[in-house]
Amino acid sequence: MAKRSYTQKEHELLSKASRLFNRAAFIGVLIGLSLAMRWAPVSWFKKPELADRPVLDAMAADTLVIDGIHVSSGLIADDRFNIIKANCMACHSGKLISQNRATREGWKEMITWMQKTQGLWDLGENEVPILDYLSEHYAPQVAGRRSALKNIEWYELEQ
Amino acid sequence: MDKKRTDKEKISATKEDMQTDTRREFIRTAGLALIGTVFGSRIVFADKMPAGLIPVAFTDHPTGFEIPGKHAGLVVLNDKPWNAETPPHLLNDPITPAHKFFVRNNGLVPENINRNNWTLTLEGESVEKPVTFTLSDLKATFKPYTYQLVLECGGNGRSEFNPPAKGNQWSVGAVGCAAWTGVRLKDVLEHVGVKPDAVYIGYYGKDLHLSRDPNKVVISRGVPMHKAMEEESLIAWSMNGEDLPLANGYPLRLVFGGWPASTSGKWLYKIAVRNKVHDGPKMTGTAYRVPCNPVAPGQKVADEDMCIIEGMPVKSLITYPKTGAIIGAERLLKVNGHAWAGDLSVAEMHISIDFGSTWQKCTLGPPANRLAWQQWKAEVKFPERGYYEVWARATDSRGRAQPMVVPGWNPKGYLNNACHRIAVKVK
């Protein structure tokens, strides 16, 4: 179909309408902005204050390592920790790792289970360092049928 | 591990990881702005924050993370998904307050819950016809009931198994007994019409899979018809007279007292009445199952030799005093706690201060209703100064008592009902 060409008059009318529309839109945006400035919470326009610290601290804590322990996850922060963080902690907390103990075979089974049922990806060349890390740091400890009570915090009981 | 790798290679995450991390950074940054604007300059993580408003990114890592609406003394085992247990001394109330009730989640807490358009659908092969109720339909159509019911995680006590079992390493506090209000599942099933071939009910909840894939069902378990039809089996909207806490299933959940708490589906929106044993995620394989026949510690067990856990075994807790008490020369100590026994009741309660050589009978109260825990108390006189442990042992109505050692090993570490004990020193 051939393209219809506008007459000179139509063209002028169209461009006039378009200029008017643009101007109205611009004024609208200005009004909107000034209302926003008036009613928006002050906090939109300033940096987080000291009272926001819990969140900032929490974010900083993500990288905080004390005595070789990554504080927020409780995991041992050796040179393989970043691989663990990238592959494991996208889905679940590091605490799920640090509270568990297993042999290399046991950890491998958990990884296979996560791959089969939980959507974990193929770990590729990272699998070996991940299994090294887990089986070295989080191996089973020898325990009997019942351990002694540990970490007792003694206190004077008022009766 | 090759020490010569460069840092860049060490962090050689897959493409998906990078995307996830970028997305998380974005959520985190956006979340900070959001919190700053919504709450002005003050950020309160605890109960003052409207439930569900915390962006998931904030639950990722904060040090000393606390679950919104929960007591700061709860031990958080896992902050993604939320899992937290209650130390025994915080469970001293006969009815566990909502903020002290343990949290066991398999997935992420649902976001943007609107109870006004929340619905519950009954469907499946063995219903006459699928029916959908709104929350107000449920409340208007059926008579409400309130029962005090014990919920205990099937894996409570897992941390003591050896060889260790994978999963959250619960000690003794994944248990609570609240007063639940709702309608009887039985009344709803009878109203809808259940075919004679019905075998099992399976629930579906709105929790989100850890992968954030909305099509992946996190957990869908259930109970056989005989348990579903018990008078105390509830579709509940209230805990201790208040709305359910978000972390405990708001606005609607199932409650099956005395069975692994994983049968009591949270954020409930669908119940399927099945003509076979329900086969949703965590019903099959080894999940919430133990070997049908006892096995040696560490033994491999084939899936077909694993049987579904039903009623939980007899158990008790010393909730007063807190472990570590030092007492004076009077050498007298009052102790008390709770005891419960799955589908049964507790017949007797004993304590020992000499590692089971002698047992002292305790005063044991009746349950408030069937499947509620029972309160016990005793006064102990210590013979001389020194280190003691008070051990507590409940016996159920069929004569089965708690073992002093960790009971039968099983691959997933369920059903550890070994005696609870506290340490006491006499000056």
Q: Does pLDDT of B24 surpass 60?
A: no
- Structural domain of A25: 13-40
Distance from CA of A31 to the nearest CA of B (A): 22
SS3 A51: helix
Tell me if A151 is assigned to some domain: no
Tell me if A7 is assigned to some domain: no
Q: Which residues contact B158 (CB under 8 A, 6 or more apart)?
A: B165, B167, B168, B169, B170, B412, B413, B414, B416
User: How many CB atoms are closer than 10 A to CB B100?
Assistant: 19
Q: Which fold has domain B115-308?
A: Sulfite Oxidase; Chain A, domain 2 (3.90.420)
**What DSSP letter does each residue of B330-376 carry, written as one string?**
T-EEEEEEEEEBTTB-EEEEEEESSTTSS-EEPEEPPPSSTT--EEE
The residue that leads in pLDDT, B130 or B32, is: B130
Q: Does pLDDT of B61 surpass 50?
A: no
Q: Please give the pLDDT value at position A33.
A: 54
**Closest chain A residue to B9, measured at CA:** A83
Q: How far apart are CA B173 and CA B88, in angstroms?
A: 6
Residue A78: its chain B contacts at CB < 8 A? none
ipTM rounded to 2 decimals? 0.81
Q: Please give the pLDDT value at position A91.
A: 86
Which of B37, B163, B210 comes nearest A41 by C-beta? B37
Cα-based distances in Å from B363 to B315, B357, B395: 16, 20, 13
Q: Are B223 and B186 in contact (CB under 8 A)?
A: no
Which of A55, A89, A124 comes nearest B43 by C-beta? A55
Residue with tokens 């969140």: A55
- Give the domain ranges of chain B: 15-93, 115-308, 315-426
> Based on the domain organization, do A67 and A133 belong to the same domain?
yes
H-run or E-run covering A49: none
Domains B115-308 and B315-426 share a fold: no
Residue percentage of chain B with pLDDT more than 70: 85
Residue B122 CA, chain-centre distance (Å), reads: 24
Q: What is the pLDDT of residues B276-291, one digit of tens each?
A: 999 999 999 999 999 9
Which of B40, B389, B423 comes nearest A43 by C-beta? B40
Say which DSSP state B212 is in: -
| Number of domains chain A is built from | 2
Tell me if A158 is assigned to some domain: no
Q: What is the pLDDT of residues B391-412, one digit of tens each?
A: 999 999 999 999 999 999 999 9
A151 touches chain B (CB under 8 A): no
Distance from CA of A151 to the nearest CA of B (A): 9
Residue B323: its chain A contacts at CB < 8 A? 149, 152
Q: Which regions in chain A score pLDDT beneath 70?
A: 1-61
Q: What is the pLDDT of residues B230-281, one digit of tens each?
A: 999 999 999 999 999 999 999 999 999 999 999 999 999 999 999 999 999 9
Tell me if A94 is assigned to some domain: yes
Tell me if A55 is assigned to some domain: no
Residue B164: its chain A contacts at CB < 8 A? 100-102, 140
Do residue B168 and residue A96 have CB atoms under 8 angstroms apart? Answer: yes
Q: What is the dihedral of CA A64, A66, A69, A74, to 10 degrees?
A: -60
- The model's pTM: 0.76
Q: How far apart are CA A59 and CA A82, in angstroms?
A: 16
> Based on the domain organization, do A109 and A66 belong to the same domain?
yes
Q: Are B92 and B319 in contact (CB under 8 A)?
A: yes
Q: What is the pLDDT of residues B317-350, one digit of tens each?
A: 999 999 999 999 889 999 999 999 999 999 999 9
Q: Does pLDDT of B97 surpass 70?
A: yes
Q: Please give the pLDDT value at position B329.
A: 84
Q: How far apart are CA B258 and CA B192, in angstroms?
A: 26
Do residue B41 and residue A72 have CB atoms under 8 angstroms apart? Answer: no
Residue percentage of chain B with pLDDT more than 90: 81
Q: Which fold has domain B315-426?
A: Immunoglobulin-like (2.60.40)
Give the end-to-end CA distance of chain B in Å, rounded to a whole number: 53
Which residues does residue B124 pair with via DSSP β-bridges, in sequence order?
none
- The CATH number of residue A101's host domain is 1.10.760
Tell me if A91 is assigned to some domain: yes
Tell me if A49 is assigned to some domain: no
Q: Are B349 and B362 in contact (CB under 8 A)?
A: yes
Residue A51: its chain B contacts at CB < 8 A? 41-43
Q: Please give the pLDDT value at position B157.
A: 97
Q: Are B266 and B205 in contact (CB under 8 A)?
A: yes
Q: Are B1 and A8 in contact (CB under 8 A)?
A: no
Residues in chain A: 159
Closest CA to B231 of B149, B122, B151: B149
**Closest chain B residue to A64, measured at CA:** B63
Residues in chain B: 427
E strand spans, B25-71: none
Alpha-helical regions (H) of B97-196: 135-141, 185-192
**What DSSP letter does each residue of B248-301 carry, written as one string?**
GTTT-EEE-TTSBGGGS-SSEEEEEEESSS--STTTSTTTTEEESS---TT---
B415 dihedral zone (left: phi>0; alpha: psi -120 to 50; beta): left
Amino acid at B92: N
> Based on the domain organization, do A112 and A79 belong to the same domain?
yes
Interface test with A, best of B61, B85, B425 (most A CBs within 10 A): B61
Cis before B163 (ω within 30): yes
A49 touches chain B (CB under 8 A): yes
Which of B1, B334, B423 comes nearest A129 by C-beta? B1
Q: Which residues contact B157 (CB under 8 A, 6 or more apart)?
A: B170, B171, B172, B406, B413, B415, B416, B417, B418
Say which DSSP state A73 is in: T
pLDDT band, residue B16 (cuts 50/70/90): very low
Tell me if A46 is assigned to some domain: no
Amino acid at A65: V
User: How many CB atoms are closer than 10 A to CB B15?
Assistant: 8
Q: Does pLDDT of B18 surpass 90?
A: no
Q: What is the pLDDT of residues B113-150, one digit of tens each?
A: 999 999 999 999 999 999 999 999 999 999 999 999 99
- Mean of the per-residue pLDDT values of chain B: 87
> Based on the domain organization, do A67 and A129 belong to the same domain?
yes
> Based on the domain organization, do A88 and A29 belong to the same domain?
no
Q: How far apart are CA B258 and CA B236, in angstroms?
A: 16
